[in-house]
């Protein structure tokens, strides 16, 4: 796991290094600037001296980092333009030092042009730059951008250039991952350690590739900081994949009962029940309405269909539970919800099912989530995994999606701590929330996953892995990662436009094989 930190924690380490260890702040800034230049060279410039680089520098230490990094670009014979905001008396001490150096450089170097920002039209001066570097505000900024920063960012985002952000994109909250107006970067060179807001929500959408630039502080300083937020790495997954013993059989390899689908929505049930087997469960049974069972029979060969009496209504109801009671007892895990529908009787049946299966592992998705909306406090969810997307989760806890985005991690943590449940918040990226208060952010996946059915497949993958591992946390880490890895590997054959949820399910064995080869 890669640990993620808050801005307060990063600041604590900086202050410790300056005040207790005695490293001057100017030295930390110079170290940072060397790293910024190194990444600009490695990722973008690549020795092409014809490329013109534009910096836009603010009044604080982020601006100081920008001035110092620009100096290294000049020293290596690149053409540089710098727009700076504020008067000398407004600049922080270390920013001012590097600004004055740049001022001296401008008197002697033909490849440096310096302009003080006086109005939004000045941003057009950077239009001929192939690279634009954001060094305006940094990770300490909070709240909606004020002018002129808001208009500057909007203008910069319209310029066609490769864009890089120093530490964090202007307009993005480094803790909450939220922002109204954000500099959209292709590369973020974050300083010291990884800030959590870079890796989810608006942060993930606007940060591009994120790399870590050292500032000359030992990594051991950060090891003493407590964090509950992490990024999942492939090493975490390979170590927890279920082992298939030689004496294993189909019932000891994991038993999944999927309660999903209806006459109106049979496809989701097929996807979920098949995915459980594709990820290695030994036996998968689908509970489905008897009156329309033919809708799924022809598409399921390995999965057993257990038809329950539905009085011709084509959906699940309280009466259906008695028909599948023995199968519920038989199963290691219940996968509940996809395609069940939202009829009043279905909702009543699901609430009854959840109350009568408190001791069972359950994965609850889609219409199962709808059934517990605003009623989750009535239920014991301590062995349950809930898999909503942001819209479903917002409804579940009674807030708007806009409100959720403002502090997604906090809302998710509060929910799992209150309920004791496990929460998979599906999105780009998907985030795992554990009852301990920890959050684990998925590190793989691509935009092609935004299609009907991918969530249904994930439900089956989670249920299949829980049935084998009997450990929810391990199963969730492996399930979320492998589901997305399977999608990423499909890009070798398809574009993000061309694959489907079924393709992801079918590619799960290849994802496991790929992971094993990577660590062979």
CATH number of 234-468: 3.40.1190.20
Instruction: Provide the residue ranges of all domains of the chain, joining segments of one domain with +.
Output: 2-227, 234-468
Q: What is the reported pLDDT for 298? A: 85
Q: What is the reported pLDDT for 307? A: 95
Q: What is the reported pLDDT for 318? A: 97
Q: What is the reported pLDDT for 325? A: 96
CATH architecture of 2-227: 3-Layer(aba) Sandwich (3.40)
Please give the angle made by the CA atoms of 324, 330 and 331, to the nearest 5 degrees.
Answer: 95
The DSSP secondary-structure symbol of 407 reads T
**pLDDT tens-place string over residues 453-479:** 999 999 999 999 999 999 999 999 999
Low-confidence ranges of the chain (pLDDT < 70): none
Burial 77-114 (b: 16+ CB within 10 A, else e): ebbbbbbbbbeeeebbebbbbbbeebeebbeebeebeb
**pLDDT tens-place string over residues 88-103:** 999 999 999 999 999 9
* Alpha carbons 440 and 438: distance in angstroms, whole number: 7
Long-range contacts (CB closer than 8 Å, 24 or more residues apart) made by 222-228:
222/3, 222/5, 222/9, 222/13, 222/192, 222/193, 225/3, 225/5, 225/9, 225/12, 225/13, 227/3, 227/4, 227/5, 227/6, 227/9, 228/413, 228/436, 228/437, 228/438, 228/439
Query: Which helix H or strand E contains 501, and what residues bound it?
Result: helix 501-506
Task: Report which of 466, 517, 460 is spatially closest to residue 483, judged by C-alpha positions.
Answer: 460
Burial level of 400, CB count in 10 A (0-12/13-18/19+)? exposed
Q: What is the reported pLDDT for 370? A: 97
Domains 2-227 and 234-468 agree in fold: no
Task: Report which of 442, 43, 5, 2 is spatially closest to residue 191, judged by C-alpha positions.
Answer: 5
């Amino acid at each position: 796991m890669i640990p993620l930190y808050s801005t307060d924690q990063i600041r604590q380490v900086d202050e410790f290094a300056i005040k207790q260890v005695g490293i001057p702040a100017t030295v930390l800034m110079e170290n940072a600037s060397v790293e910024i230049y190194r990444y600009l060279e490695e990722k973008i410039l690549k020795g092409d001296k014809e490329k013109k680089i534009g910096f836009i520098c603010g009044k604080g230490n982020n601006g100081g980092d920008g001035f110092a990094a620009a100096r290294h670009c000049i020293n290596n014979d690149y053409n540089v333009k710098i727009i700076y905001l504020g008067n000398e008396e407004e600049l922080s001490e270390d920013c001012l030092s590097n600004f004055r150096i740049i001022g001296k450089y401008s008197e002697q170097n033909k490849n440096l042009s310096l302009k003080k920002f006086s109005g939004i039209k000045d941003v057009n001066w950077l239009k001929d730059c192939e690279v634009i570097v954001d060094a305006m505000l940094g990770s300490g900024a909070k709240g909606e951008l004020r002018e002129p920063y808001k208009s500057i960012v909007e203008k910069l985002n319209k310029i066609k250039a490769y864009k890089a952000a120093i530490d964090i994109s202007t307009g993005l909250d480094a803790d909450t991952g939220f922002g109204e107006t954000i500099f959209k970067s292709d590369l973020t060179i974050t300083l010291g350690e990884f800030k959590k807001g870079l890796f989810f929500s608006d942060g993930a959408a606007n940060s591009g590739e994120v790399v870590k630039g050292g500032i000359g502080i030992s990594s051991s300083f950060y090891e003493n900081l407590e964090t509950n937020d992490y990024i999942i790495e492939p090493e975490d997954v390979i170590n927890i994949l279920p082992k298939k013993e030689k004496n294993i059989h189909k019932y000891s390899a994991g038993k999944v009962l999927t309660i999903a689908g209806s006459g109106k929505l049979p496809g989701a049930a097929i996807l979920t029940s098949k995915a459980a087997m594709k990820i290695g469960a030994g036996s998968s049974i689908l509970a489905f309405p008897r009156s329309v069972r033919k809708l799924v029979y022809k598409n399921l060969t390995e999965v057993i269909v257990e038809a329950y009496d539905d009085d011709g209504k084509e959906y699940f109801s309280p009466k259906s539970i008695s028909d599948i009671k023995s199968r519920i007892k038989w199963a290691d895990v219940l996968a509940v919800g996809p395609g069940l529908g939202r009829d009043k009787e279905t909702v009543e049946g699901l609430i009854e099912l959840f109350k009568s299966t408190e001791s069972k592992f359950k994965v609850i998705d889609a219409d199962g989530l709808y059934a517990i909306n605003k009623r989750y406090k009535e239920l014991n969810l301590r062995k349950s995994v809930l898999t909503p997307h942001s819209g479903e989760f917002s409804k579940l806890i009674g807030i708007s999606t806009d409100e959720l985005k403002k502090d997604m991690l906090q809302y998710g943590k509060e929910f799992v701590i209150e309920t004791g449940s496990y929460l998979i918040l599906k999105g780009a990226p998907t985030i795992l929330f554990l009852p301990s208060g920890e959050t684990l952010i998925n590190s793989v996946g691509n935009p092609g996953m935004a299609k009907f059915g991918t969530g249904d497949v994930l439900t089956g993958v989670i249920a299949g892995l829980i049935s084998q591992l009997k450990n929810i946390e391990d199963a969730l880490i492996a399930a979320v990662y492998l589901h997305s890895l399977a999608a990423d590997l499909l890009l070798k054959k398809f574009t993000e436009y061309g694959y489907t949820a079924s393709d992801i399910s079918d590619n799960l064995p290849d994802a496991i094989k790929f992971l094993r080869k990577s660590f062979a």
